[in-house]
Copies of this chain bind each other. A is one copy, B any other.
């Protein structure tokens, strides 16, 4: 196995990386050709329009959320709440590794194209939904630590909002501080939720910092 990568896949991966750095409107089809080592004929053979290519990129992210994001974290961390903060920490590392040039691939595209390309919104939404669902499951796995009245899905959505906002502020300032501060406050919220709960029920094991794992 591991045959030579198909032309189509090379195009999708080149477009994915360029969209991530330069955005959709900031990336030309000719740049994608160059990066993929492919000529115009092939590009338009597989993707008749640029929007088709955007859809393929978003589909790539949708199908790779497990192996690309969740699985590496879940392998290292077993505690469901710490898994959430482990996922968030992956984005922090992405920020640092590429000097704040890269943020959330979906979030960037969402703001840029959701007005002008309505046909793309469903796939953007599907990416967000999968992310939220993964976090929701983590919260449900730690259901007994949280107050009964909280909605896991709402907390998961909120967590995504904090992530996206924190990434935006750190990319603008070219500093990890806004992101780290946002996540620190989010953790404070989680801890207060959990503390409010354990005052009414059984004590739980002490939480692990992601840096100890």
Contacts and interface: CB of A to CB of B under 8 A. Distances in A.
Contacts of A25: 23, 25-26, 112
Interface string A112-138: 101110000100110010000000000
- Interface range for A: 35 or more
B158 A181 contact: yes
Contacts of A193: 192
Contact of A110 (B26, B168, B189, B196): B168
Q: Counting chain B CB atoms within 10 Å of each CB, which of A128, A182, A196 scores highest?
A: A182
Contacts of A157: 169, 178, 181-182, 185
A80 interface: no
A111 B112 contact: yes
Contact of A158 (B111, B128, B185): B185
A172 B114 CA distance: 6
Nearest to A182: B161
A181 B154 CA distance: 6
Interface in A41-62: none
Interface of A: 21-23, 25-26, 101, 103, 107-108, 110-112, 114-116, 121, 124-125, 128, 154-155, 157-158, 160-166, 168-169, 171-174, 178, 181-182, 184-186, 189, 192-193, 196
Given A101-B115, A161-B178, 4 more contacts: A108-B111, A157-B181, A158-B162, A161-B182
